[in-house]
Amino acid sequence: MKKTLMGNHAAAVAVRLARTEVVAAYPITPQTQVVEALAEMKASGEFAGRFVKVESEHSAMACLVGAAQTGVRCFTATSSQGLAYMHEMLHWAAGARLPIVMAEVNRALGAPWILWTDQTDSLAQRDTGWLQFYCSSNQEILDTTLLAFKVAEELSLPVMVNYDGFTLSHTYEPVDVPAQELVDRFLPKHDFALALDLADPKAFSALPKPQEYFRLRRRMAADMGRAHQVIASVEDEFARLFGRSYSAVEAYKADDADALLVTTGAPASTALDAVDELRKEGFKAGNLRIRQFRPFPAEALRAYARPGRNLVVVDRNFSMGQEGIFCEELKSALYPLKERPQVFGTVAGLGGGDITVELLKEIWLDAKQGRGDALQPVWMEDAR
């Protein structure tokens, strides 16, 4: 059934459809409506799960660590400072192999105080062991949240579903809300093999020897490697059931393109318009959208790497002292190739500045002509 939903409500509806058993969350702009919508659904009886109104984000994740250990399906949502405050627990949730799902509404980090979107909050969590997806539409927020539960439970690893603060979180779009029966088929009741069993007491996350710790981390890394196939097969199943398909990297008019934009999140949908306009103007433009960040889809991206065809990454995030994080990751993915394309980095829209069609066209044209200095990222602002 089509409904007009803001991004935050699309996430909340997915949590309800997944028959999530425990939600623990703390309010932060721009995530707040996820929490409010769930509280309303709980009050009206639409949502049967438990909702723990914790006193902080650290406790939100700590609560879910405890709940997930008992084998129930768990969810939280946060943004920015809240995610940073949760940081310790993100490592813990992943290390304990708990399939927790989180909606992360991308918002820039202070200081100074800033409310609007960028991705440095979630990308700074890249080494925590969470899978990460970046959505470009509200439909995708709903669908990815459902996918996330399935993927998390198959891998026993937590999954973060990221989307742009305000641009998606507060914007209404038509969203196809799937029928409950269909979601129940896709997401049967969670049966967690590592759940605590009262008849067979164990200690969870107890101190191991270094050798055991090493092996546990190695096994986790192997499961992250395996995640590529698991995600692809879950996406296939999702497409068969719901008729919408997703993949780690989504290419648009890339086959014959002279240069490619590399984009993520909501600006990746703006990029489609930029490509269309450039095509109308006679340029062979194309776009690659990176939807999956962890595990990083290096192999999928290498398929689009052709020597002589420049790639230009639009990063709405920045690693101080280095460069945009998607750019850095892309370069590292392409490095093993014998012949590599030029990769240019662009930093744009930090703290929520608009990434417009015009700006993206300018970025593409620059990249096509080739920049003098490929080593430095270019900071681009839309002056309009």
The two structure tokens encoding residue 308:
């002589």
Shortest separation between residue 41's beta carbon and another protein, angstroms? 16
Cα 259–Cα 264–Cα 270 angle in degrees, nearest 5? 75
Nearest Cα neighbor of 120 from 332, 303, 348, 319 is 319
| Sign of the alpha-carbon torsion through 108, 110, 115, 116 | negative
Q: Which two tokens stand for residue 360?
A: 């993206």
Query: Residue 50 in contact with residue 186, Cβ under 8 Å?
Result: no
Q: Which is nearer to another protein, 58 or 126 (CB)?
A: 58
* Of positions 6, 14, 65, 187, contacts another protein by CB under 8 A: 65
Q: Partners of 312 in the beta sheet? A: 261, 344
Q: Of 45, 111, 191, 202, which one interacts with another protein (CB under 8 A)? A: 202
Question: Is there binding between residue 201 and another protein (CB under 8 A)?
Answer: yes
Tokens of 164: 């742009």
Q: Name which of 204 and 335 has its Cβ closer to another protein.
A: 204
Distance CA 379, CA 260 (A): 18
User: Does residue number 66 form part of the binding site for another protein (CB under 8 A)?
Assistant: yes
DSSP β-bridge partners for residue 287: 252, 261
Q: Which of 59, 247, 342, 356 binds another protein (CB under 8 A)?
A: 59
Judged by beta carbon, residue 70 or residue 319, the one nearer another protein is 70
308 forms part of the interface with another protein (CB under 8 A): no
Do β-strands 131-134 and 101-106 pair in parallel, antiparallel, or remain unpaired? unpaired
- Judged by CB under 8 A, the residue of 3, 36, 54, 331 near another protein is 54
Would you say 261 and 288 are in contact if contact means Cβ atoms under 8 Å apart?
yes
Which of 66, 99, 76, 63 has its CA nearest to residue 192? 99
In the complex with another protein, the residue whose CB is nearer, 53 or 219, is: 53
Q: Which of residues 16, 31, 47, 71 is near another protein by CB under 8 A?
A: 71
Of the candidate spans 88-96, 139-147, 287-295, 323-331, the one that interacts with another protein by CB under 8 A turns out to be: 88-96
Part in contact with another protein (CB under 8 A); list of ranges 31-39, 191-199, 237-245, 331-339: 191-199
For position 22 contacting another protein by CB under 8 A, the verdict is yes
Could you say whether residue 47 binds another protein (CB under 8 A)?
no
Is 35 an interacting residue with respect to another protein (CB under 8 A)?
no
Among 1, 193, 207, 383, contact with another protein (rule: CB under 8 A): 207
Q: Is 130 in the site for another protein (CB under 8 A)?
A: no
Q: Which of 72, 124, 232, 239 binds another protein (CB under 8 A)?
A: 72
Buried residues in 298-328 as b, exposed as e (16+ CB within 10 A): bebbeebbeeebbbbbbbbbbeeeebbbbbb
> From the CB of 174, what's the least distance to another protein, in Å?
33
Of 111 and 198, the one with the shorter C-beta distance to another protein is 198
Chosen residue from 109, 124, 196, 374 binding another protein by CB under 8 A? 196
Q: Does 208 bind another protein (CB under 8 A)?
A: yes
In whole angstroms, how close is the CB of 219 to another protein at the nearest point? 14
Contact 381, 348 (CB under 8 A): yes
* Torsion 28-124-225-60 (CA) sign: negative
Examine residue 21 and tell whether it contacts another protein (CB under 8 A).
Answer: yes
* Segment holding 151, helix H or strand E: helix 138-155
Q: Choose the stretch contacting another protein; rule: CB under 8 A; options: 47-55, 134-142, 256-264, 317-325.
A: 47-55
What 8-state DSSP symbol labels residue 351?
G
- 160's enclosing H/E stretch is strand 159-164
Is residue 379 involved in binding another protein (CB under 8 A)? no
Count of CB atoms situated within 10 Å of the CB of 364 = 28
The C-alpha atoms of residue 108 and residue 352 are separated, in whole angstroms, by 8
Point out which residues bind another protein (CB under 8 A).
Answer: 21-22, 24, 49-50, 52-56, 58-60, 62-72, 74, 88-89, 92, 196-198, 201-209, 212
